[in-house]
């Protein structure tokens, strides 16, 4: 790998965006540690985008760690595996992070088990056809680990006639407070590069690129040290939010704009999160499916912030207890980052495949400032990386004119929250947009069910 390849497009960026305070100092230097195993785990069947998984176990059945408990319900679906050795306590509706109840497999951990995963012989991924590779990734239950939880194997299913030239690994981690991807790059650089190389070679891409914001110099240096002769570039990027959005990262690194309504693969690019390629490396090297992930626990309301490796299904209450509990002035707990995450309905909801962080905020972070009328200053337009009109969306949403919002491309909004952050009138623009999009989705479902 040449030095030129390592440094190319160092000053590349995308237009618009915002610059929130990173707030990463609490956990940026904290090594990943394993959280103690809990007594009870809840595995929702629909913790990924697409069709929920279908249970293949029964109540009372004994399980070993990593055993398949639910198979994909369709192609746009993925498998679930037991995060612990134990038994199936129930298959029932359980509370989800948003307060709703959804079908889940409840597992009681065996208190006498070591809970060590037994590695399996490596899979000869080079000998697999692309269809076999896709099936393996689906069988492993791997999803996008940046928060969206999009089934990873779907991205690798490239339509006939399209070619992938570049695999882009997202190590930007632009959300404030979160450092789980950062620590993965520092502590497991070999797995990051190996996972990237597996994906690159199976898709027939020329190169792989790992994009990292330049507030992570140790991650950039560690990845560079780990590189051998692999055609992998490590690219430093200026700090900006939402740098980690797929289309923004592509623009920053390749200076390519993915048109509205198209996907990165239409431009010859596949984008995966750092955690996703680490999970791919773990599956093909040791047979470990996606049964645990790294979660950042941080925020002013946390007594002992940490980066934790957490079995999926672990109650958030147990994570917070391990971190010394919440301070007395905590007012809200967020799943994910402060820009795109959402308040949780209960401390007993589980860690999911897409849970990148658990943040505790006090009154000073959660008190809602007084909302004033829009002054038409245009700051939300300057902030929006997709060149949409957030203030118009907010006005239409308040009037419940959702169909008009659809006509002016509200569905292109990724709900990054940059508009709300930039608004001097403290209008919760992104919340209005989310409400409108939820209503449009409900309308779509009703029209197709009649």
Tell whether 384 is in a known binding site.
Answer: yes
Beta strand 68-71 with 54-55: parallel, antiparallel or unpaired? Answer: antiparallel
On the question of a cis peptide bond just before residue 115, with omega within 30 degrees of 0, the verdict is no
User: Is there a binding annotation on residue 94?
Assistant: no
Write down the residue that tokens 């540690």 correspond to.
33
Q: How far is CA 330 from the centre of its chain?
A: 25
Q: Is 374 annotated among the ligand-binding residues?
A: yes
Annotated ligand binding at 380? The verdict is yes
DSSP line for 105-122? EEEEE-TT--------PP
Task: Say if strands 101-109 and 86-95 run parallel, antiparallel, or are unpaired.
Answer: antiparallel
Q: Is 174 annotated as a binding residue?
A: no
307 near 339, Cβ under 8 Å?
A: no
Tokens of 28: 């940026």
To the question of whether residue 323 is assigned a binding role by annotation, the answer is: no
Which residues are CB-contacts of 112 (< 8 A; sequence separation ≥ 6)?
A: none
Backbone φ/ψ region at 156: left (φ over 0), alpha (ψ -120 to 50), beta: alpha
What is the secondary structure of 26-95 as a DSSP string? TTTTPPEEEPPP-SEEEEETT-SSSSPPEE---TT-EE-TT-EEEE-SSSS---EE-SSSEEEEEEEEEE
413 is in an annotated binding site: yes
Numbered residues of the known binding site for [4Fe-4S] cluster: 374, 377, 380, 384, 413, 416, 419, 423
Numbered residues of the known binding site: 374, 377, 380, 384, 413, 416, 419, 423
């Amino acid at each position: 790998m040449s030095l030129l390849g390592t440094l190319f497009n160092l000053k590349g960026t995308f237009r618009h965006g915002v610059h929130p305070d990173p707030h990463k100092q609490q956990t940026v230097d904290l090594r990943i540690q394993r959280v103690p195993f809990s007594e009870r785990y809840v595995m929702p069947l629909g913790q990924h985008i697409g069709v929920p998984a279908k249970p293949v176990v029964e109540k009372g059945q004994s399980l070993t760690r990593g055993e398949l408990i639910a198979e994909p319900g369709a192609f746009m679906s993925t498998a679930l595996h037991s995060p612990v050795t134990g038994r199936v306590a129930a298959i029932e509706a359980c509370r989800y992070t948003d307060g709703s109840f959804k079908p889940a497999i409840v597992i009681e951990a065996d208190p006498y088990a070591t809970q060590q995963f037994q590695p399996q012989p490596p899979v000869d991924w080079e000998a697999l056809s692309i269809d076999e590779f896709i099936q393996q990734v689906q069988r492993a239950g791997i999803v996008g680990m940046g928060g969206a939880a999009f089934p990873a194997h779907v991205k690798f299913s490239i339509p006939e006639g399209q070619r992938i030239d570049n695999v882009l690994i997202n190590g930007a981690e632009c959300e404030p407070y979160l450092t789980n991807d950062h620590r993965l790059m520092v502590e497991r650089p070999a797995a990051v590069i190996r996972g990237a190389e597996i994906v690159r070679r199976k898709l027939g891409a020329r190169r792989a690129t790992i994009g990292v914001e330049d507030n992570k110099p140790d991650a950039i240096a560690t990845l560079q040290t780990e590189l051998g002769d692999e055609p992998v570039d490590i690219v430093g990027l200026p700090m900006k939010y939402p740098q980690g959005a797929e289309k923004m990262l592509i623009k920053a690194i390749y200076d390519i704009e993915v048109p509205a309504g198209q996907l990165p693969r239409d431009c010859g690019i596949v984008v995966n999160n750092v955690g996703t390629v680490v999970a791919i490396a773990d599956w093909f090297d040791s047979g470990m499916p996606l049964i645990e992930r790294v979660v950042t626990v941080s925020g002013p309301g946390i007594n002992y912030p940490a980066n934790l490796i957490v079995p999926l299904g672990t109650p958030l209450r147990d994570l917070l207890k391990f971190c010394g509990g919440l301070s007395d002035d905590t007012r809200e707990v967020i799943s994910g980052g402060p820009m795109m995450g959402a308040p949780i309905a209960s401390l007993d909801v589980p860690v999911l495949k897409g849970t990148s962080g658990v943040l505790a905020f006090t009154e000073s972070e959660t008190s809602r400032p007084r909302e004033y009328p829009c002054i038409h200053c245009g700051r939300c337009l300057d902030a929006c990386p997709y060149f949409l009109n957030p203030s118009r969306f907010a006005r239409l949403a308040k009037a419940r004119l959702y169909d008009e919002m659809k006509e002016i491309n509200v569905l292109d909004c990724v709900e990054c929250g940059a508009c709300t952050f930039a608004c001097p009138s403290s209008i919760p623009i992104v919340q209005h947009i989310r409400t409108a999009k939820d209503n449009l989705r409900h309308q779509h479902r009703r029209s197709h069910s009649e």
